[in-house]
Amino acid sequence: MTPKPVHTPVLLEDALEYLNVRPGGVYVDATLGLAGHSSAIARKLGKAGKLICFDRDPEAMAKAKARMDEVAAELGDQMPTVVYVPRAFSEAAQEIKPGTIDGLLADFGVSSLQLDEAYRGFSFRSDGPLDMRMDTRSGETAEQVVNQENENELADLIYEFGEERRSRKIARAIVRARPISTTAELARVISVAAPSMKGDKIHPATRTFQAIRIRVNNELGEIQSLLKSAGSLLKKNGRLVLISFHSLEDRLVKDAFKEAKDAKVFEVLTKKPVIADDEEQRRNPRSRSAKMRAAQKL
């Protein structure tokens, strides 16, 4: 039998340390994913604890529940109460009363499930339909963005969300090649228009795919909404632990933490972002780009 793949959450031990999980506390995993972080939090909470899990991806939620059922079978009567919320984490304030949680963790990276399944359309590593929606139940697809935006709009979003310097050249090539319906087609068009340059360590389509994915899922807007509401949800001394995977995300977190520190709302616990050590990067290459920042409510 093929062994069951093991999901490896990034910066797990560091996240647990900064989250300061206490038995009997109330914690939020704002990005449940495949329950890597949540399963570890549950083991520390005990039967009096409560864990609230958000994820807008229905497929990820179903798989995470199955994993958490395994944890419950393992822990027996020491399993904390787990509440599943099938919504975006930007809506946390609509689900949680102010001043009621001891900590909130969010891992803003795309989940392994989304990247590894070709039919979700997140990755150019294997061919699939251009979808990229985290919530497959609604919203604009990547195919619609690629084929319906005008050239200037495409160039602007590739530059802004992908930090791609050759955005205008790529946008022009995309418009000329339309209609484009698969990840492989899009990757080919980008690679021809803007081939890898000497010293490049990433595929030439990486930044453009990131940009389209951010646009489709309003990822930066979601993070901004969470940053605005998280402080009000935490109890005094509650912890906020956020893991970013690219500079746009990290900049939002860094700026929000500085503003909250200046307003004497939070104490920033990480003077510099926490990154994975060499051993974790070898075990889990995805962790190489992860940056974690943590703060405590005053």
35 is in an annotated binding site: yes
161 is in an annotated binding site: no
- Expressed in angstroms, the distance from the first to the final Cα of the chain is 52
48 is in an annotated binding site: no
Alpha-carbon gap, residue 135 to 47, rounded angstroms:
31
Cβ(276)–Cβ(8) below 8 Å:
no
C-alpha closest to that of 194 among 158, 248, 235: 158
278 is in an annotated binding site: no
37 is in an annotated binding site: yes
Alpha-carbon gap, residue 233 to 221, rounded angstroms:
19
Tokens of 44: 């520390």
C-alpha closest to that of 288 among 251, 245, 250, 255: 245
Return all residues near 136 (Cβ < 8 A) that are at least 6 apart. 57, 58, 59, 120
Q: How many helices (H) and strands (E) does the chain have?
A: 13, 7
| Residue given tokens 């503003």 in the structure block | 259
55 is in an annotated binding site: yes
36 is in an annotated binding site: yes
Residues comprising the binding site for S-adenosyl-L-methionine? Answer: 35-37, 55, 89, 107, 114
Residues comprising the binding site? Answer: 35-37, 55, 89, 107, 114
